[in-house]
Amino acid sequence: MSEQTRVTLDITGGLATITLTQPPVNALDRALIAELAEAVEEVRHSEDARAAVVTGGPKVFAAGADVKEMLGWDYRTAVRDSGALGDACTALSRLPIPVIAAVNGFALGGGCELALAADLRVCAADSKLGFPEILLGVIPGAGGTQRLPRLVGPARAKDLVFSGRMVGAEEALAIGLVDHVVEPDRVLERARELAAPYLNGPAVALRAAKEAIDRGLEADLGTGLELERGLFAGLFATEDQTIGMRSFVENGVGKAEFRGR
C-alpha cells in the first residue's frame, strides 16, 4: 500500500487496525475514502489478518462527509462520485474476518455508515451517533437507509433518518445501534479484547459463519437454510474441524488449538 496521510493500517499478531487520521474530525473526503478503500483491500489480501478494528482515534470516529467538498456537486457529479464511500463500506462489511468499529466522539452520517459496516460496534460513553443528512436536504447515501433498519428495525431507523437527530451512547446501546459502551479511554482496548478470541480461532469456520449470516439476511429463509447447510458441510474438509471435534471428545469444549485452515 502506498504511503498514506489520512488512513493508517497496522497488522500485528493477526489483528488489522485501520485508523482514520485526518484531523480535526476525520471528514470523509475523496482522498480519505480512497485510502480507506486501499487499506480494506490490503486487509482482504493479507494472509495474517484474522480480525480487524476500524477506529478514528481517541477523539472522533468520523463526523461525516466533507460537506464543503460536496457543496459544488451537481447531479452528474453526485452520480459519478457518491458511490465511493458506499463501496468502501461494502468492502469493509465483506471482509471474511470479524470487523469491530471502535467509536470515540462523533460518528455521524458517513461516519455512522462506516461503523454500521462492521460486525460489532464499541463506543465511548460520551459518543454521539446519527444521520443528519436530512437536515442538509439529502438522505444517507453510503448504506445508512439499508444497514440501519436491518440492525435496529424500520421504525427506529425512520426515526433517526427522518429527524436527523443524534443519539447518545446509552440510547444507541438500547436500540441495538452499538453493542458495547465503555469509558472513552477504553474504547480501542475493548475492541481489541473482543477481537482477541478470533486471532487464533478457526478462521475458515468464522468466515463461513459470517457469510451464512450476512448472505442469509439478504435471502428468504429457505435459501438461507440451504446456504447454511452447504457451508456447514464444507467445513468438514478443513483441518480445524478435525482438530476441534477431536479436542472436544478428548479434552472437553473450548480447548482446541486451531491452525486456521
Of 207, 123, 204, 235, the closest CA to residue 170 belongs to 123
217 and 136 assigned to the same domain: no
Is residue 2 in some structural domain?
no
135 and 56 assigned to the same domain: yes
Is residue 240 in some structural domain?
yes
114 and 58 assigned to the same domain: yes
Name residue 146's amino acid. Q
DSSP E strands: which ranges in the chain?
7-12, 15-20, 51-55, 99-103, 106-108, 120-124, 128-130, 166-168, 180-182
- The count of structural domains within the chain is 2
124 and 226 assigned to the same domain: no
The answer to whether 120 and 97 have CB atoms below 8 angstroms apart is no
pLDDT for 4? 56
Of 18, 105, 21, 29, the closest CA to residue 60 belongs to 105
Is residue 22 in some structural domain?
yes
Alpha-carbon gap, residue 34 to 31, rounded angstroms: 5
pLDDT for 77? 87
pLDDT for 1? 45
Is residue 261 in some structural domain?
no
pLDDT for 2? 47
Q: 165 lies in which domain range?
A: 7-199
Contacts of 44 (CB under 8 A, 6+ apart): 91, 95, 96
Residue 181's domain is classified under what CATH number? Answer: 3.90.226.10
Of 102, 104, 144, the closest CA to residue 119 belongs to 102
Among residues 113, 170, 218, 228, the one annotated as catalytic is: 113
Residue 242 CB neighbours (<10 A): 12
pLDDT for 256? 85
pLDDT for 261? 85
pTM of the model: 0.92
Q: Tens of pLDDT along the chain (261 residues)?
A: 445 589 999 999 999 999 999 999 999 999 999 999 999 999 999 999 999 999 999 999 999 888 888 888 888 888 888 899 999 999 999 999 999 999 999 999 999 999 999 999 999 999 999 999 999 999 999 999 999 999 999 999 999 999 999 999 999 999 999 999 999 999 999 999 999 999 999 999 999 999 999 999 999 999 999 999 999 999 999 999 999 999 999 888 888 889 888
151 and 98 assigned to the same domain: yes
- Give me the half-sphere count of Cα atoms (radius 13 Å) on the Cβ side of residue 161: 21
89 and 22 assigned to the same domain: yes
57 and 165 assigned to the same domain: yes
pLDDT for 136? 93
Q: Which residue has the cell 438461507?
A: 224
Q: Tell me whether residue 113 is one of the annotated catalytic residues.
A: yes
Could you say which of 199, 225, 241 is where a domain stops?
Answer: 199
Is residue 259 in some structural domain?
no
Among residues 41, 133, 189, 226, the one annotated as catalytic is: 133
34 and 82 assigned to the same domain: yes
Residue 214's domain is classified under what CATH number? Answer: 1.10.12.10
- Name the phi and psi angles at 172, rounded to 5: -60, -40
136 and 165 assigned to the same domain: yes
